[in-house]
Every structure is written in structure tokens, then in C-alpha cells.
Chain A
């Protein structure tokens, strides 16, 4: 007998050891997320993937799938909260989509579209954050960092390095790099590292490639993030 759970009333199978989001992705069900990427250890921090499991809020990316679970995902109240959490990510940093070279390829922006976010809702923090343009090929724009730790995990788990880390506490959290000077140019990162390409926003960019794909012809200009994500992530899970 295959074990099953239900998501929004639809029964789906799962295998032991899968998280709810893995089971959902395999079944073609999209659960919004930003800090999750099936290639790396789940982190559970962005909280966009919060679903109700038997009435309780759980992060779908870390919570194990279990037989008979009743999961609520695509519900009005959950999506309203997801929209506000996305708005929180926008106001916490400095995200000016029209002038950002990641626009159209940015997952934060795409999730915001998906959740029908039309304004910032909350007062903006306008934090003072620096750029690190020291590296010849890679740029860090701290204004756009959402602390998802994907670069941290990619560097550690896939590149076998520890180029990135999140430091500080609370609203003062920030991305740091592993060099004595604190500058990216003095780390052992290379432009071919996974960590240099994993950022869901425009915080880590490869230099000299901006606008090679013009605005209007980018990933999310023509597709919704749910379809893009399901295609890429179910491919990976296979």
C-alpha cells in the first residue's frame, strides 16, 4: 500500500522521508517558497511555504509527510499571510524592481506577482546597506538580500567551500563573506560556483551579463513562478 496524504482535499502519494513540499512537487502541486531549493538541506526560514497540517501551521519544506495528513495549502487566509510575508521581505530591504537588473528573473518579484501583491503595505525601512563590488566577476548588493541562506548552503554543500554566512541578530541580520578583509574578492569563490548563481533575488549577480536577455524576454515575463518551479524542481526530485 502506498502511503497518502491530502492537500486541499486531493489525495497524493508520498514516500517515507519526503517532506510535504517534496510530496506536493512530485504530485504537481505548487506551494509558494523562497528559501527552499530541493538541491539543498531545507532551511524553513522564509515561512512562505507555511501550510496547515491537521489544523496546525507547519513549514512544508521541513515538515515530514505522514500517512493520512490533511494539508491545507491554497487557502485564502494562508495566501493572504504569504502576501504579507512577501511584503515584509520587500520593506525590510531596498527592492526597486524597475531599476534592478534581476527584474523578470527574480523569484521574490515572481512570488509577489503570484500572490497578487500590489503594494508594499508596510512602511519601508530604507536600511543603509552596502555593495561589495570588489570581485572581478561577482557582485553582492546587500540591499536585495532576503537571508534565505541559499548561497550559504550552496557554497557549503555543493561547492565544498564556506564563502557565505549570515551574521547578526534580528533586523540587523546580514550576509558576510569568508575572508580576512570581509571582501568577496579575497574569498575562494569563483564565478562557476553554484553559490554565485543560486540567489533568488538580485543580491548576488554575475557581472558583465546584465541585460544580455532584454526585459520582456525573461523567465517570469511570460510564465508564472508556479509552473517554472514545478518544472525545474520536479525534474530535480526525479
Chain B
């Protein structure tokens, strides 16, 4: 192991910023990060062991105790639940003889939940040693069980197990026509890069991650900073449950995304770029590296790009299972090899970003759009959409519909039109913008996709009338408690309190006053939290409580007070120790 780590870190150039990459390699090799490895890594990277431990304990894909040689993680996203996650989980437990959350006693297999894997259009999905396994069926599980029992390495498993489809059903401005490699850069050079920034301004392009800051303004601010180096970052940490459009863009349109980043570099004067790729998209890492190599070969990256005298390179950094890293300053911390904790603002990344340098962070789709705008001009883009939301939005549509997949719609398109296009019937409601967005009911389908009405980073989850709203809200609320970084009090404690309080109500232990207490807590978490995660963590409860108050009320017991202390739950440890789970080992809270 000592030699393995020595070589690994030597190849990485002893950079502390590469801590995540080093840990990913050690985890893959030894199924955990052994104590001796922590000491060695800390010494070689000249960082404290506490930083190494902190990072291991922060990211879901790193472990201090060994996982199985085959580590199977099933997606716990609501979209996978809709596609039969529970049934397939039970089947896996039976087939592989391992319980969810456990490592099999022979150490060969471990099995656990993971947050949304970005395969919502082809679930139920899982990751095996980090690689995506879409469309799980009992037959596939049988096949996988056979491969594991014969101890065939994952790299030698049949490719069809890993086949991820694009499922593009509707193409608009961006997806209908792919640009030629280098075309946008040449257009930018011909027009002049300053003029091209003006075109970007005219286009009205706003960030596609959801927040919607004007892209040209961000690039301008960054360019105006006095600095000897600037950084371009592409945020491909697509963690919002129900979103998978960046997966498709990076599978099929990676050239155009990298071209947009290179264009940004030319405009702001950056020489270093990063693609922060979520760990769940490990299957895209090798193909994306190949695209980068191809572009370098073609003179579209590296030194003296398109003979225009500017240099720029892009490095791909993989995440390790932390939703919070989609927040731009947490992402930058993660790029620096640290825990993904959102920074205090000001200063903003455009002035103090990666290693303190002015940094532009944009979404995958934003760079892709910027490249095409450089080619076709600002008006071309601005002619589509609404007054405040120009152009198109690429949606990841999943849940209860006939054709889940990618739909590029003009901003201003009504929800009803989208539902008709994807073949959704008998709809109960839609989660727009993922758990951090809004739940709309079936009386609101005249509303529109736009920053001024329903904003979304791309997530669009449809629920039909057979679904239970409280199950959905419960899944989302647990998700936020799991993903809270824990930095600030209101989110760290608040998301767990929300989870517990909602569980109490959903499990039928709530009484009068508990819904009021829930709503009060929601407001506190929303208004007092440090970053977007906490500020939106209560949205699933708030947006459904507003629309379906009776659903919550109906869960309440008809008594005036229910103790917060759960007698039966308190006996759980005793039951486990006594290895009992019969009726006599349970207590009812109150005499019914």
C-alpha cells in the first residue's frame, strides 16, 4: 500500500488540491481509507491528518471501515422509488444475501442507499464500485449475482449492464444542431472576444443551474478583476434529484460544453479550467478525458489555441458523493481538496474563487448555450423565450409519464404543453426544480417554465394520482437532512428536526399543534440558513402544506397532546440486544 500511495501522489505532483482524487483511488483499491494511508497521505501532501479525516467523513463515497469488494449502492431518489426501488431492494437482499446498509460477513459484497444517481429516466438504478447500473430488473440482479459470486472484476462485466441511454425526445435551439468543433471559437475570434461578450449580453443568457444570474455580467465582473490568473469552472455536480440533463450533454455534446468553457477563458483571460464532475458520473470520466485529448490534438485546447495566441487547459475533477458541492463556493472548496462547505459571502467567487483567484462558475448547459450564441449571435437566442427568460431550457423529465427523458423547451412553455409532449396522464402534481423547487398541483398547469414563474435547473418529476404526497415529501426531507453539510446551526439541526417532526406526523404520532410547529420550523430553516441548501430544504413541506393542508391534518391523532418521546422506539436497542421482535416486545404509545 505504501508504494501504491507513494506512486499515486507522485503522479499527482504532490498537490494538496488533489486530495479527493487520491482518496478516490485509495478507496477503490482498498475498499476504505486505512489508518496508515491517512498518515501517509497527510505527510506527502503536507496537510494535517485532520483535514484528511475531515474529507473522508464528509463525502459519502469515502469510508474509514472496509466496504465490500463489490460495493452496490442503490439510488434512493423518489424517481427510483416510483420505478420499484423497494421491490428491487428486497430482491437484491435475497439474491446477494446482504441487508441494505450492511457489508456481507465474507466481505465480498456491501449494499447501501445513495442519493439520486442521475438515472431517473432509467431507474431503478444503482452504482457498482461507482459505475452506473441503469434499469435494474430481477433478471439483471441474477446476472450480477452470478458475476459477483464468480468474483469477476467489474471492469470485465458485460457492457450492456452499463448502457445508459440519452433519451432525447425534444430538441430546440441548443440540441437540434450540433456545432462543428472549434466553430464557436473561430466565430468569437473573428468578431473579437470583447464583441462576443456583448453578444452574450444581448442574448440575455442567465445561468442554467437554477439561480439565473446573468452570464455576461458574471464574465464581465471576473474579467474586470485585477489578477494574474483567472479560473473557469464548469459545475457538473448535477445532484438535484430528478435532474439528468448534464449527464446527456456531457455524453453527447461534451465538445460544445468544453468549447463554451474555452470561449469563456478567451473572454475573461483564464488559462486554467476545471470540470467538476459528480462522482455518480464516473462512467463519463474516461470518455470526457478522451474528448479533452482530442481537442488538444486539434489545437482547441492547450497552447496558442486556434492560433489566436491564448492558452487554456481543462482538468476533470470527480466529486465523491455530496449534494452540497453543487453550491458554487462549496464546489470550489471541494476542488481545493477540502470538505464542501459553502463560503461566507462576500467575497464572491468572481473576485475570490479557486485558491483566491477570480473564478467563473457556470452550469454545463450555460457553457453549451454560450458556445452556440458565439456562433449565431445574441439576437438568435434572445428571440426565443419570454421577456425575462431568454432562450430555451433543457428539462430532465421523469416520474409518471410515457416518455421520460430530455426535452428542450422554449422559456414560457406551459406545463400542460410539456405534459402532453411527454405523455403524462392522470397527473396529481409535479415537482419542478427538484426537492429544492416547488410542488405544483394539477390546478396549476397553465403556469410556465420561466425564471419569473417556475424556475428549474432542469428537474421535472411527474406524479400520478396513485402516489402519496406525504411519501414524496418525506423522501425529500430525509434527503436534505442527509445532505446538509452541517456548517450552520439552522440547517444542521433544523433539517434533522424537520425530518423527525415530519416522520412523527407521517407515522401517525402527530397531534394538534404538530403541523403548526412543523411550519414554524420550516420558516426558521428557510430564513436563517447559510446557503441555498438550507434555504430550500423546507420547500417540499412548505409547498405541499400550502396546497394540501388537509393531508397533513388527516395524519394527526385526535388527542390534544402526543409526547415527543416515543416509548416504542426507545425499546429498539433492547429488542436488538434480546434478538426479539415479537408483539410482546413492543409498547403502544398510548392506550387507543
Q: Which residues of A contact B (CB under 8 A)?
A: 42, 44-48, 50, 57, 59, 62-64, 81, 84-85, 88-89, 91-92, 122-125, 146-147, 162, 164-173, 176-178, 180
Contacts and interface: CB of A to CB of B under 8 A. Distances in A.
B50 A168 contact: no
Given A85-B524, A85-B528, A176-B50, 11 more contacts: A59-B344, A63-B346, A84-B524, A91-B497, A146-B489, A165-B51, A168-B486, A172-B486, A173-B492, A178-B48, A178-B50
A169 B322 CA distance: 9
B217 interface: no
A129 B49 CA distance: 22
Contacts of B483: 170
B487 interface: yes
Interface string B48-63: 1111011001110000
B528 A167 contact: no
A234 B35 CA distance: 45
Contact of A46 (B50, B489, B500): B489
B124 interface: no
Nearest to B56: A167
Interface string B12-55: 00000000000000000000000100010000000011110110
B56 to A, nearest CB: 8
Contact of B486 (A44, A50, A59, A147): A147
20 contacts: A45-B487, A45-B530, A46-B488, A85-B490, A122-B493, A123-B565, A125-B496, A162-B48, A165-B48, A165-B50, A167-B58, A168-B54, A168-B57, A170-B481, A170-B484, A170-B495, A171-B492, A177-B50, A178-B49, A180-B35
Contacts of B57: 167-169, 172
Contact of A171 (B35, B39, B344, B481): B481
A180 B39 contact: yes
A133 B582 CA distance: 41
Contacts of A146: 489
A47 B48 contact: no
Closest 9 CB pairs of A and B: A165-B50, A88-B493, A123-B564, A173-B486, A62-B344, A170-B484, A167-B54, A171-B496, A170-B486
A92 B495 CA distance: 12
Contacts of B564: 123-124
B349 to A, nearest CB: 16
A59 B565 CA distance: 34
Contacts of A168: 54, 57-58, 486
Nearest to A80: B524
B519 to A, nearest CB: 13
A146 B449 CA distance: 42
A205 B493 CA distance: 25
B485 A169 contact: yes
Given A168-B486, A170-B481, A89 B53 contact: no
A171 B322 contact: no
Contacts of A63: 346
A137 B53 CA distance: 25
B218 interface: no
B535 to A, nearest CB: 10
B527 A42 contact: no
A88 B527 CA distance: 15
B494 interface: yes
Contact of A170 (B492, B501, B521): B492
- Quick one: which of B54, B339, B488 has the most chain A CB within 10 A? B488
A81 B525 CA distance: 10
A88 B497 contact: yes
A171 B489 contact: no
Q: Is the interface of B mostly helix, strand, loop or mixed?
A: helix
Nearest to B527: A57
A106 B344 CA distance: 27
Given A45-B488, A168-B57, A171-B484, A81 B344 contact: no
Contacts of A125: 496
A122 B39 CA distance: 41
Contact of A47 (B58, B59, B484, B490): B490
A206 B490 CA distance: 30
Contacts of A85: 489-490, 524, 528
B511 to A, nearest CB: 13
B486 A171 contact: yes
B482 interface: yes
Given A165-B51, A168-B58, A169-B58, A50 B493 contact: no
Contacts of A64: 346
A48 B50 CA distance: 27
Interface string B162-205: 00000000000000000000000000000000000000000000
B488 A81 contact: no
Contacts of B487: 45
Contact of A89 (B339, B344, B489): B489
A158 to B, nearest CB: 16
- Quick one: which of B58, B486, B494, B521 has the most chain A CB within 10 A? B486
Contacts of B50: 162, 164-165, 167, 176-178
A168 B63 CA distance: 11
A84 B489 CA distance: 10
B520 to A, nearest CB: 8
B485 A92 contact: no
Interface in B447-494: 481-490, 492-494
A203 to B, nearest CB: 15
B493 A89 contact: yes
B528 A81 contact: yes
Given A122-B497, A162-B48, A169 B489 contact: no
Contacts of A180: 35, 39, 49
- Quick one: which of B51, B53, B57, B489 has the most chain A CB within 10 A? B489
Contacts of A45: 487-489, 530
Contacts of B51: 165
A165 B54 contact: yes
Contacts of A91: 493, 497
Contact of A167 (B53, B489, B495): B53
A231 B471 CA distance: 52
A162 B47 CA distance: 10
